[in-house]
Amino acid sequence: MEKKEPPLSAVLLAEPFNPVLSFFEKPSYLIPLVNVPLIDYALEFLKTLNLSHLFVVTCDGSTTVKEHVQRRLIGHEFLDNLTFVKCDGCYSVADVFRDIDQRALIKNDFLFLQSGFLCNSNLQSVIDEHRARRKKNKSCIMTILCRTCPKEHPCRSRCDDLVVELEESTQRLLNFRRLEGDESSLTLASNASMTFDLLDCRACICTAQVPPLFSDNFDFQTLDDLMREVLINEEILGHTVHVATVDDCYAASVHDYHSYLSIRQLIFI
């Protein structure tokens, strides 16, 4: 009999390391989006998932987020499988992953997201796809969530401009670049497709192999740094990253003032 895989756990970073979101006096996770604190959107999404455990990571030392999350989850089974992780001295997403690795909190695949994440689906098809890929290819350590969004779309800001090169048959990430101008120097592999219209939803499904990779590379500060290392040293490390395009639902992340305004406008419509 085939062994049943355990449910995903989730790591919710309550306080993103993004000074651009400091335009409010409140902590970023309490910034109101249509009168609802940002973190509540992420919590409502997480409620739709079958999770083994929820880790809420805080870095500011405040008890406000703990009180708020516990209040929002009253009556939900998450309260029995909820851990608040206080990451003292963490100044980047990479520091959080290192702290998680040092504490040995993660044993299986997990969903990583931040308090600005919104989604109106439980993404079960993406989770199933990730697991099926892992069964065939243990080298896959991460599945990144993206959605199709044309470059001229008002939801996109300058920091969302990126080019993604994918292996057509597997959606394996071959190359990516945050665009800063000239795109003519990009080359394309014969078995690949290149797209400029993917929007990074800033959430990903990771394996338990991901946190140790940050511990092994103390110069990493972001998930982008990790992905570049995987792509550059794929033959040596034996790791791959894949992309899941979620066009059958709405998924996005508030990560700057532009995304805040555009998502707020969409919610009002």
Domains for the chain: give ranges and CATH numbers: 8-268 (3.90.550.10)
Q: In the block, which residue shows the tokens 């639902």? A: 249
The whole-number pLDDT of residue 150 equals 75
Nearest by Cα to 140 from 216, 234, 217:
234
The whole-number pLDDT of residue 11 equals 98
Buried-exposed string 216-247: b where 16+ CB fall within 10 A, e elsewhere: eeeebbebebbbebbbeebeebebbbbbbbbe
The whole-number pLDDT of residue 61 equals 65
pLDDT tens, the chain, 269 aa long: 556 788 999 999 998 777 667 666 778 888 899 999 999 999 999 999 999 999 999 987 678 899 999 999 988 888 889 999 998 888 899 999 999 999 999 999 999 999 989 999 999 999 999 999 999 988 999 999 999 887 777 677 767 778 888 998 899 999 888 765 445 455 545 555 677 788 899 999 999 999 999 999 999 999 999 999 999 888 888 999 999 999 889 999 998 888 888 888 887 65
pTM: 0.91
Residue 209 buriedness (CB in 10 A; 0-12 / 13-18 / 19+): middle
The whole-number pLDDT of residue 184 equals 45
CB 57 within 8 A of CB 143: no
Amino acid at 120: N
